[in-house]
Amino acid sequence: MSAAAFVLAINLFVAGLFATAFGVLAAYYRSALGARWIAFGYGCGVVTSVLEFVLPFQADARPVAFALFSIFLFALAFIVIGLARHYRLSPPLRVLTGLVAVSMLINLFSMEMPRDSFLRAMLYQLPYALILLVALGMMVKLPARRILDVALMGILVTVIIHFIAKPFLAQMIGSGGAPQGYLSSTYAAISQSVGAILHISTGIAVLLIMVRDVMAEITARSETDALSGLHNRRGFEDHSERAMALSQRSGVPAMMIVADLDHFKQINDTHGHATGDMVIAAFAKTLREAAPQTAVLGRTGGEEFAIFLPGTNLACGRLYAEAVRTAFPVNVAPELKGLNLSASFGAAMQDTDDTLSELMRRADQALYRAKSEGRNRVVVAKIPPSALAAESGTIKDFGTS
């Protein structure tokens, strides 16, 4: 077995491995939208590797050579579609269809050209580079890219250069006198070896990106309350602790606000749990609409909510709570307009050495005062001395608003 044939066997195995891996990912996680397409792409890669082995035994190599070229085009197109699906982009189907169709026609006509023709070699390799250039163009337009995404872009650039460079390599060392002699050539050994490295690099990068995003989605679901769309208690505590630590390191103020829907049990008992669910959803919507982007919002119990506001002083924190309190009865569906809806709020300013539990305890104490003083109001906990100093002595009234 020649060196090229040995590497080709490795490529066949790797393509099958990645086709299986992406297929399993698609089967188990419906959110992995692009995995199925990429599995198809690597499945086509298996077929092209088999055809490479079949090619030397053909009296007329043209049908197999054309099939090999065309199937590999489809493999790359499927991978581009899979990446688009994964990144929630519209797949460039018209561009890909046009590229594949035109490339196949050109390949048919270029078969009659001399095998050692530079133009023929470039017409063979350039369509592969152009299809991957479409994928690179999609990724350049992504609104946010992380390290793995940037790494994949770098690999795509390398693969594009690889395809463009192959005609030059073929001119330098030759690619075999006939298609049947390809696997025994030095060109094939180099091409297959470099292709194997890029093949594996691309597959690993895409697989890592998909697993990363699937795991992030699973984590988000486990931290999200389905009814309100806000963080559940676990998610709220995790995100708030990180935001608190950043606020304390940065020396910026922060507020914790806890809220409780007034007479919620009575609403459930009188109007039913479906109505109660609508009330919770309406309150959560009001919290979101009034909150800054940096806020951490959570439903921590049945009718209990918590909001952590980094970069917010006492006056702004109270203003936020008041805005929600007054907007809530208005910001509901028409069928809830007849209900007597209100909420009570307790607010506490973060101290420099607060833990999350201590900050929430002070906010809960303020909420208890709000409930005991008649509900439908905002009560602010006494400001700790260090936090009071940060307020520059401007806040004097710590009572109800």
Hey, what domains does the chain have and what are their CATH numbers? 3-222 (1.20.1070), 233-390 (3.30.70.270)
Q: Which residue has the higher pLDDT, 363 or 176?
A: 363
**Residue from 52, 223, 237, 303 carrying the catalytic annotation:** 303
> Residue 133 and residue 163: Cα distance in Å, rounded?
11
Structure tokens at 137: 């163009």
Instruction: Residue 181: name the closest of 90, 94, 61 by CA.
Output: 61
pLDDT greater than 80 at residue 391: no
* Predicted local confidence at residue 176, as pLDDT: 66
* Predicted local confidence at residue 398, as pLDDT: 37
Indicate if 237 belongs to the active site: no
% of the chain at pLDDT higher than 70: 94
Task: Give me the amino acid identity at 28.
Answer: Y
Instruction: Residue 301: name the closest of 221, 222, 236 by CA.
Output: 236
% of the chain at pLDDT higher than 90: 69
Mean pLDDT of 207-231: 91
> Residue 171 and residue 115: Cα distance in Å, rounded?
10
3-class DSSP assignment, residue 374: coil
* Angle of the 93-110 helix axis to the 62-86 helix axis, nearest 10: 170
DSSP conformational letter for 302: S
End-to-end CA distance of the chain: 85
Mean pLDDT of 16-34: 92
Question: What contacts 168, CB < 8 A, 6 or more positions away?
Answer: 118
Q: How confident is residue 388, by pLDDT bands cut at 50, 70 and 90?
A: low
- Per the listing, tokens 């692009």 go with 34
> Residue 179 and residue 129: Cα distance in Å, rounded?
21
Q: Which residue has the higher pLDDT, 187 or 150?
A: 150
CB 341 within 8 Å of CB 333: no
Q: pLDDT tens digits, residue range 224-278? A: 999 999 999 999 999 999 999 999 888 899 999 999 999 999 998 888 999 999 9
3-class DSSP assignment, residue 297: strand
> Residue 366 and residue 372: Cα distance in Å, rounded?
10
* Predicted local confidence at residue 290, as pLDDT: 94
* Predicted local confidence at residue 59, as pLDDT: 82
* Predicted local confidence at residue 334, as pLDDT: 81
Mean pLDDT of 268-291: 93
pLDDT greater than 80 at residue 55: yes
* Cα atoms in the Cβ-side hemisphere of radius 13 Å centred on 87: 24
CB atoms under 10 Å from CB of 375, counted, come to 14
> Residue 24 and residue 389: Cα distance in Å, rounded?
58
Question: Parallel, antiparallel, or unpaired: how do β-strands 343-349 and 378-380 relate?
Answer: parallel
Q: pLDDT tens digits, residue range 93-129? A: 999 999 999 999 999 999 888 888 899 999 999 999 9
Task: Give me the amino acid identity at 107.
Answer: N
Q: pLDDT tens digits, residue range 180-197? A: 667 778 888 898 899 899
Left (φ > 0), alpha (ψ -120 to 50) or beta: where does 174 sit? left
> Is the pTM here over 0.85, yes or no?
no
Mean pLDDT of 377-393: 71
> Residue 99 and residue 120: Cα distance in Å, rounded?
17
The helices-and-strands tally (H runs, E runs) of the chain is: 13, 5
Q: How confident is residue 85, by pLDDT bands cut at 50, 70 and 90?
A: very high
Q: pLDDT tens digits, residue range 128-146? A: 999 999 999 999 989 888 9
Instruction: Residue 133: name the closest of 161, 165, 105, 168 by CA.
Output: 161
> Residue 176 and residue 278: Cα distance in Å, rounded?
73
> Residue 267 and residue 221: Cα distance in Å, rounded?
28
- Between the alpha carbon of residue 206 and those of residues 39, 76, 83, 249, the distances in Å are 11, 13, 8, 36
Query: Which of the residue ranges 25-34, 63-72, 281-290 would you say has the lowest mean pLDDT?
Result: 25-34
Average pLDDT, the chain: 90
Q: How confident is residue 12, by pLDDT bands cut at 50, 70 and 90?
A: very high
Mean pLDDT of 49-60: 86
Sheet hosting strand 254-261, strand order edge to edge = 296-299, 304-310, 254-261, 343-349, 378-380
- Per the listing, tokens 């998909």 go with 210
pLDDT greater than 70 at residue 390: no
DSSP conformational letter for 191: H
pLDDT greater than 70 at residue 381: yes
* Predicted local confidence at residue 276, as pLDDT: 92
| Triad 304, 288, 214: Cα angle to 5° | 90
* Predicted local confidence at residue 87, as pLDDT: 93
* Predicted local confidence at residue 378, as pLDDT: 96
* Predicted local confidence at residue 8, as pLDDT: 85
Q: How confident is residue 20, by pLDDT bands cut at 50, 70 and 90?
A: very high
